[in-house]
Amino acid sequence: MSTRKCQSLVLLLLIIFLSTAGSLHAAAFGHTFVVDLSSLNPTQRADLLHAPGVAWWVQLGTQALVAGDMPAAALTPPAGPAPILVADDADASSFVAVRLPPDGLPVLLRSGHTAIAQRASVDAWLAQHPDVVPHVQEIDEVAHHGHQDFHLHPLSPLLLNQILGGPPPFSEAAAPDHSRSDLVAAVSAPRTFADITWLATIQAPATTTRRTGTIGQQLARDWLKAQFESLGYATTLQAFSSPYGTAHNVVAEISGRIRPNDVYIIGGHYDSTSQSAATNAPGAEDNASGTAGVLEMARILARYPPQATVRFIPFAGEEQGLYGSEAYVNSLSASERSRIKGVFIMDMIGYKSAAYPLNVLLESRSSVPGAVGLVTTLSQNAQTYTTLNVTTSYYAWGSDHVPFLDVNLPAVLLIEQEYDSYSCYHRTCDTPDKVTPAQAAEVLKMLIAALDATAGTCLLGDINCDGQVTTTDITMITELWDTGYDRRVDLDHNGHIDIVDVMLAAWQWQA
């Protein structure tokens, strides 16, 4: 995760709502209510938020702040509680939103100060007054908490009429699928942890770092390229300029068997940083964990080829300001961008403290077409195939998903919810022993299931990808036995077609 994101999260987040589509100070008449949406289905929620008289709304999980010139009855769900009046006008400029780490959940406050309380005071107030939107003045203002400054400061403008975050808004569990369960079972926590360990213990001369521009980062680059090539993927290095000279993204691709023109990207930065970044920045959690996750997805999809094209991109230069992902997005032509149907970025997926369950934060931007659909697919499959506690946020910033969202390409960040409380964040103590393999594995299970739901996969041995292994597939393999080569039928990835490939397909046929 970039230093830019770290600096703001350490302070907490203050979001001052400023609309670029119209004045926030409009609609000073009317009323503002907190509405409970939990009893409504997606269509009912949309109807309520766009009811006659509604001037603006902001949704946070299963609640929404709704303002305008309409009676409370118009906002009362048929089977839910009555809305709570929180202001006698509809002036959005009187509200701010606070995002509380470690779970990233936004809460609403009525404004009055440009800097307000530290996190513990906000949590305490909300616990005592769960049904109202408090005034900032009602929470004790604290200048410092330990070594961290917890004042809240204004950030970038944000549009109204958006989903800010909270629990997945419309998340129903995905229906169980036998073939998808096989994909989920293919995720290997030990293998992923071994990759994390390799990346976090690179021994360049007198250093252990992957900071962009160092020998360690170059060793990681070359190792990643070799790993993708060993799986049979076409792999290239994309050069770009960074504050430390020329750096490279690693770009590997597997062409889709059914929808090759549709492209899904799986990415995560492989560079690291710390207070001694030039010589000692192991970056196990940030972000060897996400990079290892990209490799694990590549290994599984080599065995279960996708129906759509999938690109695997470990980015460099993220810690200095998203240089690698910005360079990649800027290199895409309009026609190439139109092919991209989804981007999944993994950044810090392996840390878990004893105080919290296995968890993940899914972060995107609801104004980008297709983004909410990706988040929903991930959260639905998390419910079916994992034990993850899922939180969503649509205030996207500070990692490699942002350059894609900035050009309206649907992208989602997958990150564990406790990143802000991780004491070894951007420090030399970010070592493999701080990573919980089961945490990373659960995130990867969610992702591979979501990839099957979006990019699609083919069964092992299903060469023509028609949903079943038949004699046609076995014949296709046999015809290439010792007479030719096609990576699609090299089921054991040993570089040639032989009896083992035929037997693997036959085993699937019998199954």
In whole angstroms, give the CA distance from residue 374 to residue 382. Answer: 12
Query: Is the per-residue pLDDT at 429 higher than 90?
Result: yes
- Are the C-beta atoms of residues 504 and 460 closer than 8 Å to each other? yes
CATH domain 178-454 topology: Aminopeptidase (3.40.630)
When pLDDT is cut at 50, 70 and 90, the band that residue 489 belongs to is low
Helix/strand/coil percent split, the chain, to 5: 35, 25, 40
Output 292 or 81, whichever has higher pLDDT: 292
Residue 408 tokens read as 């309206």
Cα 118 to Cα 148: distance, rounded to the nearest angstrom: 10
Q: What is the mean pLDDT of the chain?
A: 80
Minimum mean pLDDT range among 104-113, 184-193, 402-411: 104-113
Percent of the chain's residues with pLDDT above 90: 48
Please give the Cα distance from 226 to 468 (Å, whole number).
Answer: 32
- β-bridge partners, 372: none
Beta bridge partners of 163: 59
pLDDT number for residue 106: 52
- Model pLDDT, residue 240: 98
Of the given ranges (149-158, 291-300, 338-347, 420-429), which has the lowest mean pLDDT? 149-158
- What pTM does this model have? 0.75
Percent of the chain with pLDDT over 70: 69
C-alpha distances (whole Å) from 253 to each of 114, 204, 265, 441 are 47, 28, 9, 23
How many whole angstroms separate alpha carbon 297 and alpha carbon 48? 40
Task: Say whether pLDDT at 15 is over 80.
Answer: no
Residue 29 has pLDDT above 80, yes or no: no
For residues 368-393, average pLDDT:
92
| Residue range(s) occupied by CATH 3.40.630.10 in the chain | 178-454
Give the pLDDT score at 81: 87
Sign of CA dihedral 45, 23, 363, 125: negative
Mean pLDDT of 249-271: 97
pLDDT of 152 above 70: no
Greater confidence (120 vs 158) lies with 120
- 260: helix, strand or coil: strand
- Which stretch of 90-94, 351-355, 501-505 has the lowest confidence by average pLDDT? 501-505
Is the model's pLDDT at 114 over the cut of 70?
Answer: no
Average pLDDT, integer, range 236-264:
96
The C-alpha atoms of residue 416 and residue 280 are separated, in whole angstroms, by 24
Q: Using the predicted structure, report yes or no on whether residue 17 has a pLDDT greater than 60.
A: no
Mean pLDDT over residues 111-128, rounded? 48
**Contact by Cβ (8 Å): 202, 273:** no
Strand boundaries in 449-497, DSSP class E:
none
pLDDT at 449 over 50: yes
Span of 22-26, 132-136, 242-246, 370-374 with lowest mean pLDDT: 22-26
Non-local CB neighbours of 508 within 8 Å, separated by 6+ positions:
459, 460, 461, 462, 469
Structure tokens at 407: 């050009």
pLDDT exceeds 70 at position 73: yes
Which band of pLDDT confidence, cut at 50, 70 and 90, is reported for residue 2?
A: low
> 40-54, 145-159, 278-292: which has the highest mean pLDDT?
278-292
pLDDT higher for 492 or 398?
398
Please compute, for residue 404, the number of CA atoms within 13 A of its CA located in the half-sphere on the CB side.
32
- Is 133 or 62 the better-scoring residue by pLDDT? 62
**Would you give the end-to-end CA distance of the chain in angstroms?**
44
CB contact at 8 A, 318 and 325: yes
pLDDT surpasses 60 at 104: no
Distance between CA atoms of residues 461 and 490, nearest Å: 9
Nearest to 239 by CA among 252, 248, 230: 248
Report the distance separating Cα 315 and Cα 251, nearest Å. 9
Helices (H), 129-267: 178-185, 189-200, 215-230
pLDDT in tens, 191-232: 999 999 999 999 877 789 999 999 999 999 999 999 999 999
> How much is the pLDDT for 147?
31
Across the range 100-129, mean pLDDT stands at 49
pLDDT confidence band for 141 (50 / 70 / 90): very low
pLDDT of the residue at 160: 74
Do 67 and 33 touch, CB atoms closer than 8 A? yes
User: Residue 306: what pLDDT?
Assistant: 95
**63/38 Cα distance (integer angstroms):** 7
Q: Cβ distance 398 to 455 under 8 Å?
A: no
